[in-house]
Each structure stands twice: as C-alpha cells, then as structure tokens.
Structure 1
Amino acid sequence: MRGLELARTLSEAPLGRISGTLLVAGDPGGSFHLRGGAIVEVVSPGAPGAETLLLRSGRVSEADWASATRSCPTERLIGAELVARELVGAAELQLICTAAALDGALAVGMGRIDGFSLEHDTQDCRLAALQAIEPDWLVREAERRIRALASRRRPFSPFRTRLGRTDAGTASLDTTVAGERREILLRVNGRRSARDIAFLLGRSLYAVAVEVSRLLGEGLIEAVVPARFKDSPVRPATAAGNLPRRLPGASGITDILPLRPAAGL
C-alpha cells in the first residue's frame, strides 16, 4: 500500500505547488525533487542518475564537468551551465534527465518501500531537468515499465539477480556486432546485476533490463544461484535457467509495488 500512497502524494503535488524533496526509505529507496508541484529530478541508488549517464557515456568529460560545477553558485544550475558551454544540447540534456528520472522512479517502484517523508523547500538536487516533469506522466510511465518487465518470459530482479554468461553467450561474442548488446554481454561475469551493468555503461537501467531479459530468453545469459543455496534441499531447479523456486523474493517480482496515479485508485 505504501507504493499507492507514494503515487497519490506525487499526483497531488501539483495541486499544492509543492517544492521540496520527497524522501523514500526502502531498498533501494530514493528521492523525488519537486519544484512548484512538478518533478525536476529523481535519484535512487538503484539506477544511474543523469550525472552518471553524462559522464560514463562520455557525453561530458570529467574535466568539463568539474569546471562547470565550480562555476555554478548552486548544484541545481549545472545543467544550464553545461548547455551554455555547449557541452550538451538543451534537448539532449532534457532527454537524459527525463530518462534518469524514469529510471529512478522505476527503481523505487520495483523495490521495497518502507515509508516516505516530505522535506519542504529543500534545494539539494544534483542535476535538475531544464523543464520540470509532470508527476502524473512520470507515475504512469514508470508503472508501464514495471509491468512490462514483470510480464517478460524470464522475469528477474534488476538489483538482486546476478547474471552469468552461458557457453552459447560466450560463443556469440564472436558474431555479435558492436553495440549495447555486446557491451552488456562483455560485462556479464556471474557477479553483476542489471543495475551494476547499467552503472558501468552509463546506460538507462530500463534499457539494460530489457536487453538482459532478451538475452535470458535466448539462453545467452542465465541467473546465477548464490553458492549458499546450491546444496539447499528446498531448491528444486527448473530445467531452463536453473532458477530457485522457493526463495522468496528471488525474482524480485514479488517486490513490485505498482505506482498508480491517484485517479486510478
């Protein structure tokens, strides 16, 4: 129910023109930064933020980022400074900030929500979107993406499921063309989750999770069973993917808390 309460609070933010930070406790948890009732940034340890997407992808260099941050009186103006220096276009930056906000909301919604609180009039966001994002739209789109991942043939947790490459996946590296799929395959090592790979690549969590789902379905990667469960007598395995059936929360799908707009309650 906390997910529904969170969605209701976000949907009602425009009515009160709320400015502040909605702090969400949980795993992974996160924060929604609001200005005048609209969202300017969503941050979660479960998904790469806009800063990571800019730097890890190479769109902005570490040196240029450091120089821009030194010139800004407040961190929330970094985006405008990057555009003024022509390090990134305004439209591209808005797209990146929106993608990061959606990823943050997805991470919060797919995780465990223990509670949330609103701190009014705080201005501690890292990289605000140039144009604020409507909460209702963000909630609807985050819910759509959560449901899309949950409906996949091989559902998994982007945070907890460790991914390993199968023999077929390793062999496919010889024929897989350069691109996101190959970059993901190269970083699958039995210890990393989709979240870990998204951070390494500086790519959207949702985009990486969708590609991971495809790779799982094609048998090129598999979920790696933690060593402590390998000899467990309560762990009947499936023929495909060797996934545990009786480990609560192993897939992450049982943790999904649907983020619905208040109107849909």
Structure 2
Amino acid sequence: MTGLDLARALTEAARDRLSGELLVSGEPGGSFHLRRGALLEVASPGAPGVETLLLRSGRVSEADWASVTRSSAADGRLGTALIAQDLVGSAELQLMCAMAALDGALAVGMGRINGFTLDRDADTCRLAAPAGIEPDWLVEEAGRRIRVLSALGRCPSPFRTRIARTPAGSARLAGPATGERREILLRANGRRSVRDIAFLLGRSLYAVTVEVSRLLGEGLLATVPTADAPTEPAPTAPPPPGPPPGPPAHARLPRRRPGASGIGDVLPLRPVAEPWEPPPAFLARYRALGGTRWAHEQATRRSTTGEP
C-alpha cells in the first residue's frame, strides 16, 4: 500500500461525493473526514492539529478552550462555537483547518501506510473546516511538499529520527540567534524528534522539518543514532605505504595464452619458418592449364636462395 493508492482513494471519494471516515493504519497513520466529497478534517498523531495550533500560539487561552469544548465538542460544533464566541474568525479558522489538514496528510504520506478503510457510517469530526477542503488541492499540495522534503540533502524522518544540538549549535544559542531557529535549538536535546518539536512549538510539521534540515546542513544539529541502528567501526591506524596500485581491473587488457581458445585443434597452424607451398592438386591443375611462368619463377627463387 502506497501514498499513491491513498491519493487515488481521496480523489475518487471527491468524485463520488462520498461521506464518512477514511481511516489509515500505519505509522503514524491518520483519518480523513469526508462529507459529500469535501474534506472536513484530517487528523494524525504525526502532526499538530488545529487545537494545538490555537493553544500553543496563544490565539485561544486554555480557559476559553475548556469552556467551548464542554459545551460544543460532543455534537461536533466546536468550530461554530469558537466563531460565535469571537475567539477566532471564520476565515482564520478555515485557513488553520486547511493548514492542519495539509500537515496531517503530509505526515500520513511520509510515514508507513499499512492500509485504509472507509467507514461510511462514521460522522465524527472534532473541528471541521467551515467551508470544507478540496481533496484534489490537498493531494496535489501534499505531494509537492513531500517532493520538496525528499530533495533536501539532510531531511530526517520526522517521527523516528532524534536530533541534538552540536557544540556549534550550543554556541549559536549564546549569540544573537532569535526566532524559530533558536526555539528549535533550545528543544533539540537528543530525545525529541521533529514531530515532538513541532507539537511543543505549535508550528507546522512541514515548516519545522524544513528548518531542521537546514540546521543539520549547517552543522548546528546532528541526528542521534538509535539503539537498533548499525554502528560504524572504530577508526584504525592507516596501513604502511605500499607500492602504487596498478590500473583497475576493468582497465587491464586480458592476457592472451597460446592455445587457450582451442582453435589450434580445429585448424592446426603451420610453423612460421616453413615457406608456403601450394597443394599438389593446385599445381597439377595449374600446369594443365599451361602455367609455366609460375614454375619458372619458383626455379629462379630456389637457385637464388639456395633452397632445395
């Protein structure tokens, strides 16, 4: 099962205007909530959802969130209640739901997909996008972001790879480093993954993964090998210098050995020093046709060279 299969299922669900929950099993897995072909919410343990983005950013306080969820979470009107209490605007909530859905789809696509099933009877959605989300846009944009991350030279696994500050990264904290880079460096303690840091910061998984990849490339962060990862052998002293190596095996011409091909068994070779003489049948035919000139030349050659 691949991400292409999942993308095809989402596209077909939009075309057929299906409703229900598309549940994806795997690591980290997730769920896609559909209503008449439109996506209402994408939730995955691999990426921060709208709730985390609202609370970590301080846009909604803990007390206001608790009050809204007590009265509205059970019937799925959480988004409507947030807008009604003027805690967030409708356009802002739509944007945050779309970004969280894109992040969830990215997490599902970058992880391992074991399979997925569509439960058409399920109608549970914690925080729905007010205007819905177009599945075709989500599939296209998630695929583009996955290709961007794959092209990065030092992109870690957002879920399994643990990252830590290097001495250069710790030195950077003592300097004028500010903003998101500083926040990532502060939380990169060797026990957290990119996903963990994204949840702590309340930032997009995609944005944090891109920034971590840059910090790895600059030598400010390093990946921490896991217990099941193969360890590199300890370095040893170099061997003493020897004679210069010859050309590589593919550059050396094969050495010929007489008789190795077996051609001599089929066509025996005559000694090089022995002069060539035409067969007797050829001589008889030649002389019968009046070939006296050749006989004269042969006699002259023999008298000159002393050959018998």
* TM-score exceeds 0.5: yes
1:26-79 per-position Cα deviation (integer Å, ceiling 9, x unaligned): 111100000110111001111111111111221111110111122227453111
**Do 1:28 and 1:45's aligned partners in 2 also have CA atoms closer than 8 Å?**
yes
**Do 2:44 and 2:108's aligned partners in 1 also have CA atoms closer than 8 Å?**
yes
Shift of 1:105: 0.3
Structure 1 residues 63 and 203, CA, compared in 2 at 3 Å: closer, same or farther? same
Q: 1:192 & 1:232 partners in 2: Cα distance?
A: 23
**Do 1:76 and 1:123's aligned partners in 2 also have CA atoms closer than 8 Å?**
no
Residue equivalent to 2:142: 142
Residue equivalent to 2:116: 116
1:3-45 per-position Cα deviation (integer Å, ceiling 9, x unaligned): 2221111001122211110000111110000011011100111
The letter of the residue matching 1:191 is R
- TM-score (structure 1 length as normaliser): 0.84
Q: 2:88 & 2:178 partners in 1: Cα distance?
A: 24
**Do 1:75 and 1:125's aligned partners in 2 also have CA atoms closer than 8 Å?**
no
Q: 2:208 & 2:56 partners in 1: Cα distance?
A: 14
1:164-215 per-position Cα deviation (integer Å, ceiling 9, x unaligned): 1011111111224431111111100011110000011111111111111111
Q: 2:73 & 2:211 partners in 1: Cα distance?
A: 40
**Do 2:73 and 2:126's aligned partners in 1 also have CA atoms closer than 8 Å?**
no
Asked if 1:77 is matched to 2:77, the reply is: yes
Residue equivalent to 2:203: 203
The letter of the residue matching 2:41 is E
Structure 1 residues 23 and 172, CA, compared in 2 at 3 Å: closer, same or farther? same
Residue equivalent to 1:4: 4
Compute the RMSD of aligned alpha carbons.
1.8
Say which one has the larger Rg: 2
- TM-score (structure 2 length as normaliser): 0.73
Asked if 1:26 is matched to 2:26, the reply is: yes
The letter of the residue matching 1:103 is D
Structure 1 residues 93 and 177, CA, compared in 2 at 3 Å: closer, same or farther? farther
Q: 2:140 & 2:33 partners in 1: Cα distance?
A: 18
The letter of the residue matching 2:26 is G
Q: 1:157 & 1:147 partners in 2: Cα distance?
A: 14
Asked if 1:128 is matched to 2:140, the reply is: no
Structure 2 residues without counterparts, runs of 5 or longer: 236-308
Alignment of 1:106-255 (within 5 A): 106-227=106-227, 229=229, 231=231, 233=233
Q: 1:5 & 1:67 partners in 2: Cα distance?
A: 40
Structure 1 residues 96 and 189, CA, compared in 2 at 3 Å: closer, same or farther? same
Q: In percent, how many aligned pairs have the same letter? A: 68
- Alignment coverage as a number of residue pairs: 235
